[in-house]
Structure 1
């Protein structure tokens, strides 16, 4: 790493922040990571890592650390709402022949591997605090933290999610999260023997998916139109999720009546934001959801954050001024992330319109072709 980038602050201890810390530590950069949560918990059920993400996790040196607790699979199957197969899309082993094309893993298991790796590599982690303010000059950034402490850094990386405080400090109210009109529902089940791949059930009257997470676990997801972004009573969630998938038959229909524990339903309104200009000012940069939070329709939200982290570490180790290196980072990331953001949102809009002509298969194939390209 260039001598002018020897100490970096990462704000946010989610997937993007942890991957940035890991990538930077492997380059020999000192990394402090702060996370606003006093308990380092994770939200959600599971995560799909498609072939491009599997490739980058292998490059980060963490994939081998969680394959044993994940579920490796090759293909994506798309079905109609009666469970009839429409297409089977073969996966690509982009990480090499020794690795699977795709991986499903619980968010908790992934967090445990990433956080342990970051700490083992020497990342200094502090929980329960964030950035209070910062002042930057030509050679660094002076940061004041919410616990009264302070530090000076060569670069600050805002990986603090869709409600990013760092984004607000850089851009004011220019970029605020927007509710798309949809929400996503998720629920865990024992893995059905037939779910050895990502199974997506689609139609104008609804949608659902089943994702294997381990040998004995899978989760169901479904997206729904939720006008006005209603706030539901927690005790209602199981009944409401059953209602949202009531027109889907096949395996999803069989599983529907097993959705009984509202406390295990993960319900999340979809909110998006895209910073439509360079994601940095001076020596403060945004990555992941802080810069480009999107919907889950293409299964690439976390993947884009992981790619951001790896590309950032590679560009920072290159030549030129800090500004030139961050500009090269933007050149490699902006259009790719914009494509994922815009097409994910478009897919949701087509769902809400109940557009029977929506070519979801074509969009999925186009996305897989694009993301297979080297970053």
Structure 2
């Protein structure tokens, strides 16, 4: 297949897990990341059962366990704190491993970066692609510093605002603001927050354990017009999104005082509704299927992409077969996650009270429990 060298554009979750998976299959891998500091924002992320299974297959689960907080399921509450339902989640990696993990993004970034480097991936920072030319049997690449390279495959793992996607498909696919945003804040973890806690109400609220000491609080709110908030206003703005809440959430609200610690992100989504590749260039992760966080599966879909792509490249007799096999295994699954997450967000925007939120969560678990 002439895959002597693979280029991955983007050093985030999709890019690093792809590098680890490809190195395990014997491919030579270069990774370029445009951020010279290789930084991530400092809140956390939920890794559900399918992700625990995927990182086990990737060979990094023990590193994950050392850097994360394991938990068994999801607890749903009314805005006043009344318990509504417990939703257990399957142990897809085996009975000896947890069903879910909460992990801080800096810790996750370190685990994946260290393992990619240890596996032999060559990572260059402060660099991205400027131009590529698919020559049929190889891809000629010009980088942003003027250097060049020749690769058998280019993987665009460069996220929501993917430059690789724009080079492939022009402006046909662009992130769309959904009308909502998410606010996140790290707090000390109470002893009884040992699972994902989700509170229904006018704004969806959740508590995610990250370690013995820490958790994060999130609130998803409507934000008409996609406003921008000055740093010095963000703690007060986040507290205002929680004004409806009493009980535990009301008490936690008053601890949100550090503007710089508030992480605010408008929610945007996209789905590339065609093959995610042309010739020897392919998109994975958010570059192809960016979802909102309502079902907690954005990173999970990216990690699964990485495993499946490496598997198909290793077993197929030619590149078109490999990339088509990848699409057959990933398209419908990722499409479901994007569309179902957007549906939940729309329920929240419409203030729907006639919907089955637990049912949607159960459906998500059913889909993601299936083999990748």
TM-score of the superposition, structure 2-length normalised?
A: 0.99
Does residue 15 of structure 1 match 2:20? no
Inter-partner Cα distance in structure 2 for 1:261 and 1:90: 34
Inter-partner Cα distance in structure 2 for 1:174 and 1:321: 28
Give the CA deviation at 1:66. 2.6
2:133 alignment partner, SS class: strand
Does residue 42 of structure 1 match 2:46? no
Inter-partner Cα distance in structure 2 for 1:67 and 1:333: 26
- Check whether the contact 1:55–1:95 (CA below 8 A) recurs between aligned residues: yes
Give the CA deviation at 1:139. 1.3
Inter-partner Cα distance in structure 1 for 2:274 and 2:330: 12
Give the CA deviation at 1:44. 4.5
Does residue 128 of structure 1 match 2:126? yes
Inter-partner Cα distance in structure 2 for 1:343 and 1:6: 39
RMSD in angstroms over aligned alpha carbons?
0.9
Stretches of 4+ aligned residues off by more than 4 angstroms? none
Unaligned 5+ runs, structure 1? none
How do 1:308-347 residues align onto structure 2 when only pairs under 5 Å count?
308-347=305-344
Inter-partner Cα distance in structure 2 for 1:239 and 1:353: 25
How do 1:66-105 residues align onto structure 2 when only pairs under 5 Å count?
66-105=64-103
- Check whether the contact 1:289–1:305 (CA below 8 A) recurs between aligned residues: yes
1:144 alignment counterpart: 142
1:317 alignment partner, SS class: helix
2:244 alignment counterpart: 247
2:297 alignment counterpart: 300
2:116 to 91, 96, 118: 118
How do 1:148-227 residues align onto structure 2 when only pairs under 5 Å count?
148-203=146-201, 205-227=202-224
2:102 alignment partner, SS class: strand
Greater Cα shift, 247-256 or 339-348: 247-256
2:264 to 237, 262, 267: 267
Q: How many residues align?
A: 372
Inter-partner Cα distance in structure 1 for 2:4 and 2:162: 24
1:229 alignment counterpart: 226
Inter-partner Cα distance in structure 2 for 1:259 and 1:319: 52
- Check whether the contact 1:70–1:106 (CA below 8 A) recurs between aligned residues: yes
- Check whether the contact 1:81–1:207 (CA below 8 A) recurs between aligned residues: no
1:156 alignment partner, SS class: strand
Inter-partner Cα distance in structure 2 for 1:319 and 1:218: 43
- Check whether the contact 1:315–1:328 (CA below 8 A) recurs between aligned residues: yes
2:200 alignment partner, SS class: strand
Give the CA deviation at 1:358. 2.0
Deviations 1:326-360 (A, max 9, x none): 00100000000000000101111110111111211
TM-score of the superposition, structure 1-length normalised?
A: 0.98
1:66 alignment partner, SS class: helix
1:55 alignment counterpart: 53
Unaligned 5+ runs, structure 2? none
